[in-house]
């Protein structure tokens, strides 16, 4: 089986070194490169093929948001998981808009990092439960409410299944409908909520209190 190739982009060398050792301890993972900022990450992408990038949000010279946006444009097949610290909730939506497919706290257990990588590499999205809790707390303290996008009952039902991490095929089987129907509803959800991907749909569901963590 081919190994999952990973790039670590973070401006703290000690953190990179520790994470690299832990990731390389798994037989199905290989750290293919490291970068200390967004500029280095983009240069690395020109010569290194990778499946996943673990991307720090706050970095000098070029932050993780811009690096994610430009990196995905350069290599559409790479999936990016944001590495976050408490207090960076304001950047989550920007990272999702840039194309990030997951979020992990920097002090996450290595088993959770592995779960996140395996989930995202298979086409899913991953959000640390602890991070989601903090996002929800921030939203609860906002005075304004976002629009519900006038979702139909079926669309809300499918959105909840998406938030549970189910694939289109699994949703179809759970709701006793065809995968083609689910594909159509997912496309409608992306359009109605102005979302770019599954991660963005999940944040929309949280923002509109359609799910609770």
pLDDT tens digits for 177-203?
Answer: 999 999 999 999 988 888 877 777 887
The residue among 69, 72, 36 whose CA lies nearest residue 52 is 72
Same domain, 35 and 84: yes
CATH code assigned at 199: 1.10.10.10
Q: Percentage of the chain surpassing pLDDT 70? A: 86
Same domain, 199 and 107: no
Is 147 within the bounds of a domain? no
Q: How many distinct structural domains can be found in the chain? A: 2
* Domain finish residue from 82, 110, 127: 127
Instruction: Identify the domain containing residue 13 by its residue range.
Output: 4-127
CATH code assigned at 40: 3.40.50.2300
Backbone angles phi, psi at 126, to 5 degrees: -135, 130
Is 138 within the bounds of a domain? no
Is 115 within the bounds of a domain? yes
- pLDDT, position 66: 95
* Domain finish residue from 111, 127, 143: 127
**pLDDT of 176 strictly over 60:** yes
Is 8 within the bounds of a domain? yes
Handedness of CA 2, 123, 129, 97 (dihedral sign): positive
Same domain, 120 and 165: no
Is 79 within the bounds of a domain? yes
The residue among 112, 18, 105, 7 whose CA lies nearest residue 53 is 7
Give the whole-angstrom CA distance, residue 128 versus residue 147.
25
Is 160 within the bounds of a domain? yes
- pLDDT, position 212: 57
Is 200 within the bounds of a domain? yes
Q: What are 136-168's pLDDT values in tens digits?
A: 555 544 444 445 568 888 998 898 888 777 888
C-alpha dihedral (86, 87, 93, 94), degrees to nearest 10: -110
* Domain finish residue from 65, 93, 127: 127
């Amino acid at each position: 089986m081919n190994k999952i190739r990973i790039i670590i982009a973070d401006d703290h060398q000690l953190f990179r070194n520790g994470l690299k050792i832990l990731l390389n301890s798994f037989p199905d993972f290989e750290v293919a490169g490291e970068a200390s900022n967004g500029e280095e990450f983009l240069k690395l992408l020109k010569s290194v093929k990778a499946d996943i990038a673990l991307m720090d949000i706050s970095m000098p010279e070029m932050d993780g948001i811009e690096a994610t946006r430009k990196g995905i444009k350069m290599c559409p097949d790479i999936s990016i998981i944001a590495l976050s610290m408490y207090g960076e909730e304001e950047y989550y939506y920007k990272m999702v808009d840039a194309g990030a497919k997951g979020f992990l706290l920097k002090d996450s257990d290595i088993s959770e990092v592995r779960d996140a990588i395996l989930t995202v590499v298979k086409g899913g999205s991953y959000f640390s439960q602890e991070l989601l809790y903090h996002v929800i707390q921030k939203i609860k303290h906002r005075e304004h409410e976002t629009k519900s996008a006038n979702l139909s009952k079926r669309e809300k039902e499918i959105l909840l299944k998406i938030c549970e991490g189910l694939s289109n095929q699994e949703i179809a089987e759970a709701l006793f409908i065809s995968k083609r129907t689910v594909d159509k509803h997912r496309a409608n959800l992306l359009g109605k909520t102005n979302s770019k991907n599954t991660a963005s749909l999940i944040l929309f569901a949280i923002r509109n209190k359609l799910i609770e963590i």
